[in-house]
Amino acid sequence: MIIRTALLLALAITSFISISAPIVMISIDGYRYDYNQLHKPKWLNEFADGAAKVERLKPIYPSKTFPNHLSLVTGLYADHHGIIANRFYSPTLEKHYKISDKSAVTDGRFYQGVPIWSLAESQGKKTAIYFWPGSEALIAGQRPTEFKAYVHHQDFEQRINQVVDWLSTPNTTEFVALYFHEVDSAGHKFGPSAAETRQAVHKVDAAIAKLDALLKAKGIEVNLIITSDHGMVDSSQFELLNLDGFIPKHVKAQFKFVGSGPFINVYHQGMDKQADIKALLQTLAGVEGLQALAREDIPASLHYSDIPAIGDVLIKTESLYLGFTGYRPPSKGEHGYHVDHVPEMATMLMARGPNFSDKTVKEALNIHVYPMLAELLGLKIEHQIDGKLEVLQPLIKQN
């Protein structure tokens, strides 16, 4: 009797759900946690009513597009999945990474961890990815069954029809990811509260509503997840700080500076590393609103120090916009700041489908999405990740 009870308990733990529908995960880049209330998109608000939700999905540091899209699909912090910014330098590869550089974003050597599509493919499941950051590279020895090379101005109709086709074919795809950049672009150009940003929100809302209607018309039931990488803050509050006013030319010449705005990754290229780093830190010591940290002194709470790509020094701020002479000024909306200091960096997650509950989790880091996806797909995670299943397990409907 004891053995039988233990066996039943084990089965209950290992068979927490019964997968009955594929997953479609949609990212609306730059969709702040309160945009449903601020911009009032019709379909998204209707979808949220009764959905499984994370009210404030917190991005990892830094709250940039590529690092956080990789965290969503790997369950790792930036210094563990390797994409530590939208642009950076890898001393290991002696190569720059920049999201506009095709040769970089398709170079699998930059990426660590096992994206959910690679995990699924390695365990015999079909995946299809439309523009998700990182999906064009060979990572962990796998590519998605289907994927699209990124095109910035891609017709919404084309994206929607392709997703429907992927889910309509025999041997149905079990995981689909779709990405929209338009809300982020509008938020940068016009500001998070602008009428133009509202228009972008409503445009994407209408596209997802059409996708949902097409799937229902074909009788295709899915587990649909709507989420994002980060929020957006009105940057009129951030003063532009020109670091050329603080760093002497002879000190600056010893380093490579990559980035601007909320943070800059700094790579030593001089002769005397210890002395040069000390000189740089001394020149920036005491500058109000700014922190300059040697990599070994970056707080563990940032999870941002484990790989050389971070740089030898991190210059960061939560209240300024950093740059040098000739750098562009801040846009009307910005992101990249730490969510605990700039709460507008938070986004949301909403999900509905046969395998989702109607529960709400108030707040969670996005690294916990990956183990939830793996659980829903019935996948085994046999490598180390930072995310934990129990954080978002309340969103999964129990049998």
Give the DSSP letter string of 89-127. Answer: EETTTTEEEETT-HHHHT-GGG--S--HHHHHHHTT--E
Give the DSSP letter of residue 72.
H
pLDDT band at 169 (very low <50, low <70, confident <90, very high): confident
pLDDT tens-digit map of 336-359: 999 999 999 999 999 999 999 999
What pLDDT shows up at residue 18?
53
Contact yes or no for 377/125 (Cβ under 8 A): yes
Q: Which residues of 216-229 are buried (b: 16+ CB within 10 A; e: fewer)?
A: eeeeeebbbbbbbb
Task: Give pLDDT, residue 17.
Answer: 55
SS3 at position 387: coil
H helix or E strand, kind and range, residue 190: helix 182-190
Locate 327 and state its tokens.
């750098």
| Integer Cα distance of 301 and 341 in angstroms | 13
Residue that is written with structure tokens 């909403």 in the block: 350
The two three-digit tokens of residue 296, written as one number: 């070994």
Three-state secondary-structure class, residue 250: helix
pLDDT averaged over every residue in the chain:
94
- Percent of the chain residues topping a pLDDT of 70: 95
Single out the residue of 264, 313, 386, 310 nearest to residue 79, CA to CA.
310
Token pair belonging to 181: 């950049």
Determine the Cα–Cα distance for residues 345 and 6; give it in Å rounded to an integer. 45
- One-letter amino acid identity for 147? F
Q: Which CATH architecture has domain 21-234+344-395?
A: 3-Layer(aba) Sandwich (3.40)
Adjacent-strand bridge partners of 20: none
Instruction: For residue 205, give the nearest of 223, 226, 222 by alpha carbon.
Output: 226
Can you give the pLDDT at residue 7? 35
Predicted TM-score (pTM) of this structure: 0.94
Q: pLDDT of 16-45, one tens digit each?
A: 455 679 999 999 999 999 999 999 999 999
The pLDDT assigned to 171 comes to 72
CATH architecture of structural domain 239-329: 2-Layer Sandwich (3.30)
What are the extents of the domains in the chain? 21-234+344-395, 239-329
Angle, vertex CA 293, rays to CA 289 and CA 295, nearest 5: 150
pLDDT tens-digit series, residues 70-94: 999 999 999 999 999 999 999 999 9
List of E strands, 46-85: 52-58
Q: Is the pLDDT of residue 244 over 90?
A: yes
> Are 21-234+344-395 and 239-329 the same fold in CATH?
no
pLDDT, tens digit, 9 for 90 and up, residues 315-324: 999 999 999 9
Q: What is the mean pLDDT of residues 122-128?
A: 97
What angle, 0 to 180 degrees and rounded to 10, lies between the N-to-C axes of helices 195-217 and 182-190? 170
Contact present, 126 and 145 (Cβ < 8 Å): yes
322 contacts 262 by C-beta, under 8 angstroms: yes
- Cα-atom radius of gyration of the chain, to the nearest Å? 22
Among the listed residues 95, 110, 57, the one whose alpha carbon sits nearest the alpha carbon of residue 350: 57
- Over residues 144-160, the mean pLDDT reads 92
Alpha-carbon distances of 332 from 196, 232, 310, 326, 336, rounded to whole Å: 12, 10, 27, 18, 14
